[in-house]
Amino acid sequence: MDELASPRGLRLRAPRSLVTGLWLLVLVAVWAVAVRVLKISEFILPSPGSVLEWIATRPGYFLTATLSTLRLTLVGFGVGIAVAIPVGFALAKIRWLERALYPLIVFLQTMPLITIVPVLVIWLGYGLTTTSILVAFSVFFPVSVNTILGVRSIPHNLFFVTRTMGAGPIQTFQYIDWPMALPYLMSGFRISLAVAIVVAVVSEFIASNDGLGYVALRGVRNRDTVQIVAAVLIAAALGVIINSAAQYIEQMILKKYRE
Amino acid sequence: MLATDVKSPTMSPQFHLSSPLARFMPPVLVVIGSLILWEFGSEWFELPKYLLPAPSEFMNRFVTDRGVLAYNFSATAYVVILGFAIATAIAIPLGLAIASYPSLNHNLFPLIVFFETIPKTITAPLFVVWLGFGLSPRIALTAVMTFFPILLNSIAGFSAINPRLNYITRSMGATPWQSFRFVRFPSAMPIIFAGMKMGMVYAVTGCVTAEFVGANEGLAALILQAADYMDVQLMFAAIFATAMLGMLLTGILLGVERWLMPWRRDL
Amino acid sequence: MADALEKRSVSITRLSGNVPQIHTTASTVKGTTPSLVEDGRRRFIAASELSKSFGGFQALGPVNIHIEEGEFVSILGPSGCGKSTLMLVVAGLLQPTKGHIEINGRVLKRSMTDVGIVFQDHLLLEFRTAFENVLLQQEIRGLDRNQIRKRAQELFGKLGLSGAESRYPRQLSGGMQQRVSIARALVHEPSVLLMDEPFGALDAISRTQIRHDLEALWMETRKSVLFITHSIEEAIGLSDRVLVMSNSPGRVVEEIRIDLPRPRPAYLGQYPEFAKYAQQIYKTFEKLGVYQFK
Amino acid sequence: MADALEKRSVSITRLSGNVPQIHTTASTVKGTTPSLVEDGRRRFIAASELSKSFGGFQALGPVNIHIEEGEFVSILGPSGCGKSTLMLVVAGLLQPTKGHIEINGRVLKRSMTDVGIVFQDHLLLEFRTAFENVLLQQEIRGLDRNQIRKRAQELFGKLGLSGAESRYPRQLSGGMQQRVSIARALVHEPSVLLMDEPFGALDAISRTQIRHDLEALWMETRKSVLFITHSIEEAIGLSDRVLVMSNSPGRVVEEIRIDLPRPRPAYLGQYPEFAKYAQQIYKTFEKLGVYQFK
Amino acid sequence: AEKMKVTLNWLPDNGSIGIIYADALGYYKDAGIDLDIEPGKGSGATSQLVAGGSTDVGLASASSAIGIASKGAPLKVIAPIYQVVDWGITSLKDTPITKPKDLEGKTIALAPGAADIPLFDTMLKLNGVDKSKVNIQMVSGAGGVPLLAEKQIDGISAAPGDVMIPLATKGIEAKQMFYKDWGAPLVGISLIARADKLEQNPELYKKFVDATLKGYSEVAKHPSAAVDALRERYPDAAPKEELMEELTKFDIPLFCTAGAPGIGAVPAATWTTTGEILTATFGSLGDGGIAAKHTESYLPAQLPACP
Ligand SMILES: Nc1ncnc2c1ncn2[C@@H]1O[C@H](COP(=O)(O)OP(=O)(O)OP(=O)(O)O)[C@@H](O)[C@H]1O
Ligand SMILES: Nc1ncnc2c1ncn2[C@@H]1O[C@H](COP(=O)(O)OP(=O)(O)OP(=O)(O)O)[C@@H](O)[C@H]1O
Ligand SMILES: [Mg+2]
Ligand SMILES: [Mg+2]
């Protein structure tokens, strides 16, 4: 009877990427026609042709910028989860620590990160340190909160299983805590990776001299709408690629848990 | 990027906190502790006040500059609330429509995910170019940033409902509207609210970004203005106020959630 | 046999005594089910050559079953044989692949509405309190609020749910959830009751208790009941007639009329008839390969 | 009675035959439980004046119970009376509020490890296949891999789980999950077996089957077993001795020695002793107010 | 060679062209400096970075630097580059704003984060215009241009190059009203540094200032080559024609004011008015007033001649 509940039937049609691709083509066509017919000036909205041309004439420039954004995303993500996971486990396991800090973490999560940028820049200057801290921050919250939720979701009795087998703390972590929290961690990763790329681009815009965000800032300074749109589009494409990759990896790792 | 990924923790007696006092005391103590550390830390570590003012200094500005801060606070709050409301008003019905028609879902969902991943913050300058100055680009950016998490969660919420629940209403002879009102909508609410909570954070971020790019009022405009006058204390006061705004609005949303969804109160 | 006859006549008396009441309810109930009370004829539910496939998979049948008015019929069968499917088809909630349902001589086209259903998975609305879940009947059917509230309160009392009115399903044990679901199926006094393993979530001891309570409740109102269960004891303890189903795709392979006096006690072993019925069912299952004893 | 005596002597013979094997296992098992095999004395588990409170709430006891070596003891009691609590305390997984456990004369300080436990809620690890769940015993205890694999395969066969080895718990029915949990409790050949409603998730029909299978398995190895159940039939069908517990906070109010030959059949009603035992228990429950028949 | 890091006022463009050209010509290397050039994000941020010590020397508008110095930061202006700001109000030719009084009732865009807000305020004050009668919109420089072109606003406060040139490329003629002509001359983009670092290594700073001033002098002499050098190093800078026009028309003339001894030093009178304007803006300039906020001790003995 569960079969009835699952909307699986929907998925077995045309692959999603194809559908997306088609829609995007339609959108681009509408955009191109609109620019032409409505005589929208380059200044307001450049035609897709001129954006593509802009990118095509500077492949190296955009590649460098994209790689730099990618590097920032990954560094920030790495730092973020490297801090968030131990903190998450510590908070989930040590009750007084959780009581003291968890509400704060939840609340801090609602703080718009962008407001602390000027402070960070003053202290750390422009560049990878500042931007990766920003990215790491944005990664920290979803991952640590998910880690805590993951550990909390472990039925308490499950620890009885390993205790009667004589397991020590490390074995308990290895056989229960870690694998049980893993699905939560993975969804935390996926959520935060999507956030990370956005924050990466934005923090490059305001606190760095590399990457796609910087390219967009250049566009703003040069009053060059084409360049802004180009940077935004590439960032979007990068976001989609990273997201799909993350989703794929998550599916692979969590095969055991779902299916 | 669904907020539903975060499953609600299973109930276990270990997480029943005894009293509100026991619940709020520890975090409050931590906050007070860190403020004290900050206050005296700048003395102990010789942090220059013109870069990092002590809490007492910029908190003071909430008294002396309360007019300016209140004005800009309400300006930002106005844009955030309006943008958020617009986004919600469009996203939830659209989510319902998309969830209700599988073909629509199949076609649009990937596209929505695509747009969701576009870093919308850096499009702020474009919004100013397109919409001029004043409220419209700010509201637009706020709404656009808020829109997608709410839309995605509405779709998820309206799709996630157990189709067997319809058996109940059908065997009672319910009309489609009754089925929606009594089953589908309340079932979707928790997931939609999760999206709205996420959207609220985005809304504040969106508004602040738009203000950074072009606005003559609002907390971020105040931050820039203060930076121009090298008034670090006012800057911090404005930053603090922005954070408070985010928390306040999220808090209100949590309150509304509790009020609307009494069955989830003890989760 | 004398007992059984006496019981039947009681049932009929009871029924005619009940007619006006059912009428009242039925007239306020929206829906398309033909009223079960009509010009004094023998009224019943009948399914002919019913079968159901999911995709290519044959989940049920073909089966022929019928329920007489005021009769308590149990369906007993191994897990996965299609009992729940049968119930949903009978209720008109699933379309049969072949065959059709007649209610009181008229073919059922949409879902039955003059019915109370206890689903195997309770299907309570998590966002309504136990009491509000029951009152849903009133809200959707547009029945009289006060009357239904009173009746719901009564049912909560009888089902041992007093005090749990304002708790949410999540805050109830599986057994209590199932009881709420039973109350919801009864509150609007439908003519037909369909119950899919209503005691599935209960422990054996509580099952015996609630079986007794349900029997008492049924003896008061004498609805037509289709009761699905795994428990031989329960089937014999409650029914007028037990239908035994084969392994998947389920067919009715045996029909046993239970002639035991009511109310029946907790421990049925004292009746030699019980042992006979039980033995017969065990044998059938063994023959069907449901049991494999080495 | 003659049957019972014969059985007991078989059990003892079996046991001494088993001793070397248990020894081998026990020596490779990590943990602090004093070995149960010691200088030929009568070995047993004994709990004296055991009680347990959660917060201010008295959930159990005080109770005195003991299990002799190779004895199958069932605990029967209404829901919520503290049966699971009792088992967890006996296993050393919960600290008793009062009283203590002795194993083979030595007071239990930490959790037992020379034990196999079937928890009421299966407690399988969702990310391990059925087989890997069973092999967890080997990994954590550091036992010989091949030997345990072979034994696990054997158990899967006996428990009707062949073919389900590489499925994940969520791909198994509730009953299969419980069988895997039983296999996990048995694979390392512990001297003591604690089972908390191991058949709770099964439908009545499958329960009869698995009861039969468990009895066969136990007759081969004759572990000391503490078996918790709600089902009077199951308790009588499996045990050497049945302890009946009162309503919460649970105390042992009755002890019944079951003298029926083994293996016992699916339908126990044919034994007049069975009817006697069952009646006795029903009466006790009625006296305790567990049942309230109007 | 000694390492040194300079933070520019903004992304590399005409404002910082002298430093980039000097580097291209090898002046810093010749002086024994291994220079790291870092683009900035506005004068305010650059001043804070210098004050925080994470960079050795900054290129920032004097008003920003003095603003933060007046709050106690040990910042000093060591060499003005743009001796006076030529910012002003740009308006369309058919709806011109030629005097401060014209601003009343008009909508004017001010860029947030730029240094011209105090200037604007001072000009209004000195010329008796009521600020409340001016409708001020905070819009970044890039955002303002199309708004002006579409007449959604009446004027933009900005450096003329930022506005005039993009307007010109769209074929729109514009008018400029300079702050400096309405009683508000203000020292413009300057080299700034922290007092303690200056004291620690005066020779290094002297060499740096010398090389930088020579760079700007060369820019004035060979603007085309300088723009080429800028664009070669930063290909994403604005197109050459735009840079050239801005540089020759608007920027080079500001390298010296009337009466200046050479590139890198302003007449004392300009410092005095700057002090007055900024005192009015910030309320107080802190210890030592304006005099304590700038120094000429790090200028070379021989200043490059005015262009
Ligand atoms: N919606 C559905 N889609 C596909 N298959 C289904 C669906 N509902 C039930 N089935 C299949 O039909 C068969 C009969 O299912 P059903 O739930 O009717 O059995 P059941 O007799 O009620 O079993 P149980 O006693 O375990 O409740 C099963 O094999 C089941 O997997
Ligand atoms: N960890 C705990 N904290 C607080 N109360 C508990 C805890 N565990 C059990 N209880 C309470 O102790 C009582 C006995 O619980 P227990 O689970 O032992 O009953 P049981 O006899 O096993 O019931 P069932 O037959 O339903 O499994 C119950 O009222 C239960 O709510
Ligand atoms: Mg079923
Ligand atoms: Mg229990």
Residue D120 Cβ inside 6 Å of ligand 2? The answer reads yes
Domains in chain A, number = 2
Q: Which of E213, E227, E225 is nearest to E305 (CA)?
A: E213
- Structure tokens, D78: 């209404």
pLDDT at res. C73: 93
pLDDT at res. D251: 87
Strands annotated E in E152-222: 155-158, 174-178, 189-194
Domain that includes residue A104, residue range: 43-258
SS3 content of chain C, % helix, strand, coil (to 5): 40, 20, 35
DSSP D160-205: T-TT-TT--GGGS-HHHHHHHHHHHHHTT--SEEEEESTTTTS-HH
Alpha-carbon span D101 to D87, nearest angstrom? 11
Atom of ligand 2 nearest to the CA of C173: 26
Verify that A246 and A190 share a domain, yes or no.
yes
pLDDT tens across E112-152, in order?
655 567 778 878 888 888 888 898 887 765 567 777 887 88
Ligand 2 test: best mutation among D52, D63, D84, D94, most atoms within 8 Å of CB?
Answer: D84
Mean pLDDT, all residues of chain E: 87
Beta bridge partners of C52: C60
The lowest-confidence range among A52-61, B9-18, C85-94, D76-85 is B9-18
Partners of residue C231 in chain D, C-beta under 8 Å: 203-204
Q: Residue A165 and residue D113: Cβ atoms within 8 Å?
A: yes
pLDDT at res. B22: 67
Whether E302 contacts E213, CB under 8 Å: no
Partners of residue B229 in chain E, C-beta under 8 Å: 67, 117-118, 281-282
A30 touches B at CB < 8 Å:
no
Verify that A131 and A77 share a domain, yes or no.
yes
Q: How far is A13 from chain D (nearest CA, A)?
A: 25
Verify that A55 and A120 share a domain, yes or no.
yes
**Strand bridging mode C115-118 / C192-196:** parallel
pLDDT tens across D15-40, in order?
333 333 333 333 333 333 444 444 44
Verify that A30 and A87 share a domain, yes or no.
no
Whether E58 contacts E68, CB under 8 Å: no
Position D12 pLDDT exceeds 50: no
DSSP D94-146: S--SEEEEEETTEE--S---SEEEE-TT----TTS-HHHHHHHHHHHHT--HH
pLDDT tens across B184-237, in order?
899 888 889 989 988 998 899 889 888 887 777 889 888 887 877 778 888 889
Q: Where do we find the tokens 């800032």?
A: A217
Alpha-carbon span A35 to D48, nearest angstrom? 88
Alpha-carbon span C203 to D86, nearest angstrom? 18
pLDDT at res. E112: 61
Whether D240 contacts D69, CB under 8 Å: no
Residues in Cβ contact with A251 at an 8 Å cutoff, skipping those fewer than 6 apart: A258
pLDDT at res. D293: 54
**Cα distance between the two ends of chain A:** 17
pLDDT at res. B261: 85
Verify that A162 and A196 share a domain, yes or no.
yes
Alpha helices, DSSP H only, in chain C?
2-28, 83-90, 130-141, 145-158, 174-186, 204-221, 232-238, 272-288
Residues in Cβ contact with B131 at an 8 Å cutoff, skipping those fewer than 6 apart: B137, B140
Take atom 5 of ligand 1 and give the residue whose Cα is closest: C54
pLDDT at res. C291: 60
Averaged over D136-150, what is the pLDDT?
91
Q: Residue C275 and residue D269: Cβ atoms within 8 Å?
A: yes
Verify that A22 and A129 share a domain, yes or no.
no
Mean pLDDT, all residues of chain C: 78
pLDDT at res. E16: 93
- Structure tokens, E45: 């941020």
Alpha-carbon span B128 to B137, nearest angstrom? 6
Q: How far is A70 from chain D (nearest CA, A)?
A: 32
- Classified as helix, coil or strand, C290 is coil
Position C167 pLDDT exceeds 50: yes
Sign of CA dihedral C125, C126, C130, C132: negative
Q: Residue B189 and residue C88: Cβ atoms within 8 Å?
A: no
Which residue of A124, A206, A215 is in closest CB contact with E41? A206
Alpha-carbon span E40 to E12, nearest angstrom? 8
* Domains of chain B, start order: 64-261 (1.10.3720.10)
pLDDT tens across E241-294, in order?
889 988 998 889 999 888 889 999 999 888 988 888 888 777 788 888 889 999
- Structure tokens, A42: 């380059």
Q: Confidence class of residue E35 from pLDDT cuts 50, 70 and 90?
A: very high
Alpha-carbon span B59 to E198, nearest angstrom? 34
Compute, in angstroms, the gap from residue C47 CA to the centroid of ligand 3: 19
pLDDT at res. C25: 31
Give the domain CATH number at A49: 1.10.3720.10
* Order of strands across the sheet that contains E135-138: E135-138, E107-110, E155-158, E88-92, E174-178
Position C101 pLDDT exceeds 70: yes
Verify that A11 and A125 share a domain, yes or no.
no
Beta bridge partners of A197: none
Whether E11 contacts E18, CB under 8 Å: no
- The torsion angles phi and psi of D174, rounded to 5 degrees, stand at -55, -40
Compute, in angstroms, the gap from residue C85 CA to the centroid of ligand 3: 7
Whether E189 contacts E61, CB under 8 Å: yes
- Structure tokens, A187: 């969804």
**Strand bridging mode E155-158 / C72-76:** unpaired
Residues in Cβ contact with D267 at an 8 Å cutoff, skipping those fewer than 6 apart: C275, C278, C279, C282
Averaged over D145-162, what is the pLDDT?
89
Atom of ligand 1 nearest to the CA of C81: 21
- Classified as helix, coil or strand, C116 is strand
CB count in 10 Å sphere of residue B163? 11
Verify that A105 and A139 share a domain, yes or no.
yes
Q: Amino acid letter at A58?
A: R
Q: Which of C292, B192, C254 is nearest to D206 (CA)?
A: C292
Partners of residue D125 in chain A, C-beta under 8 Å: 158, 161, 175-176, 179-180
C-alpha C137: how far from its chain's center? 18
- Structure tokens, B164: 């067997």
Binding pocket residue ranges, ligand 1, CB within 6 Å: A 1, 3-4; C 54, 57, 59, 77, 79-85, 120, 248; D 203
- Structure tokens, D205: 């029909």
pLDDT at res. E211: 95
More confident residue, E101 or B19: E101
Verify that A89 and A134 share a domain, yes or no.
yes
CB count in 10 Å sphere of residue A130? 21
Q: How far is A158 from chain C (nearest CA, A)?
A: 20
Partners of residue A209 in chain E, C-beta under 8 Å: 11, 38-39
pLDDT at res. D239: 92
Take atom 23 of ligand 2 and give the residue whose Cα is closest: D80
Q: Residue B263 and residue C141: Cβ atoms within 8 Å?
A: no
pLDDT at res. C15: 31
Q: Which of D244, D235, D155, D236 is nearest to D198 (CA)?
A: D235
CB count in 10 Å sphere of residue D162? 10
Compute, in angstroms, the gap from residue C79 CA to the centroid of ligand 3: 7
Phi-psi region at B121: left, alpha or beta (left = phi > 0; alpha = psi -120 to 50): alpha
Please identify among residues 121-180 of chain B the ones whose CB lies closer than 8 Å to any CB of chain E.
125, 128-129, 132-134
Angle value at C-alpha A5, between A4 and A9, nearest 5 degrees: 70
pLDDT at res. B3: 39
pLDDT tens across D194-210, in order?
999 888 767 777 778 78
E225 touches A at CB < 8 Å:
no
Which residue of A160, A164, A257 is in closest CB contact with D127? A257
- State pTM to two decimals: 0.79
Alpha-carbon span B111 to E144, nearest angstrom? 33
Position C33 pLDDT exceeds 70: no
Whether C88 contacts C28, CB under 8 Å: no
Q: Where do we find the tokens 């009588």?
A: D236
pLDDT at res. B6: 35
**Strand bridging mode E88-92 / E174-178:** antiparallel
Alpha-carbon span E264 to E209, nearest angstrom? 9
Angle value at C-alpha A184, between A181 and A190, nearest 5 degrees: 140
DSSP code for A7 = G
Strands annotated E in chain A: none
Alpha-carbon span E299 to E286, nearest angstrom? 24
Atom of ligand 1 nearest to the CA of C82: 18
pLDDT at res. E114: 56
pLDDT tens across D228-261, in order?
988 888 898 899 999 988 887 888 888 889 888 8
Alpha-carbon span C172 to C163, nearest angstrom? 11
Q: How far is C80 from chain D (nearest CA, A)?
A: 11
Compute, in angstroms, the gap from residue C86 CA to the centroid of ligand 1: 9
CB count in 10 Å sphere of residue C79? 17
More confident residue, B25 or C123: C123
pLDDT tens across E68-93, in order?
888 888 899 999 999 988 888 888 88
Q: Which of C115, C160, C112, C155 is nearest to C135 (CA)?
A: C155
DSSP D256-288: EE----SSPPS-GGG-HHHHHHHHHHHHHHHHH
Take atom 18 of ligand 1 and give the residue whose Cα is closest: C82
Residue D79 Cβ inside 6 Å of ligand 2? The answer reads yes
pLDDT tens across E154-183, in order?
888 887 767 777 777 778 888 888 888 887
For residue D97, give the ligand nearest its CA. 2
Compute, in angstroms, the gap from residue D59 CA to the centroid of ligand 2: 7
Q: Confidence class of residue C38 from pLDDT cuts 50, 70 and 90?
A: very low
Position D69 pLDDT exceeds 70: yes
Whether A211 contacts A68, CB under 8 Å: yes
Position B7 pLDDT exceeds 50: no
Position A133 pLDDT exceeds 60: yes
Q: What share of chain C has pLDDT > 70, as a percent?
A: 83
- Classified as helix, coil or strand, E57 is strand
Alpha-carbon span E183 to E95, nearest angstrom? 23
Alpha-carbon span C154 to C162, nearest angstrom? 9
Verify that A36 and A58 share a domain, yes or no.
no
HEC secondary structure over C25-50: HHHHCCCCCCCCCCCCCCCEEEEEEE
Residue D74 Cβ inside 6 Å of ligand 2? The answer reads no
Chains that touch D (3 or more CB pairs under 8 A): A, C
Verify that A93 and A47 share a domain, yes or no.
yes
Verify that A163 and A150 share a domain, yes or no.
yes
* Domains of chain C, start order: 2-114+191-288 (3.40.50.300)
Alpha-carbon span A37 to A53, nearest angstrom? 20
For residue C196, give the ligand nearest its CA. 3
Residue B13 Cβ inside 6 Å of ligand 2? The answer reads yes
For residue C80, give the ligand nearest its CA. 1
pLDDT tens across B121-156, in order?
778 878 877 776 678 889 999 999 999 989 988 998
pLDDT at res. C43: 54
B and A adjacent (3 or more CB pairs under 8 angstroms): yes
ipTM surpassing 0.85, yes or no?
no
Q: Confidence class of residue C265 from pLDDT cuts 50, 70 and 90?
A: confident
Mean pLDDT, all residues of chain B: 81
Q: Where do we find the tokens 């005409």?
A: E14
Alpha-carbon span C271 to C2, nearest angstrom? 15
Position A97 pLDDT exceeds 50: yes
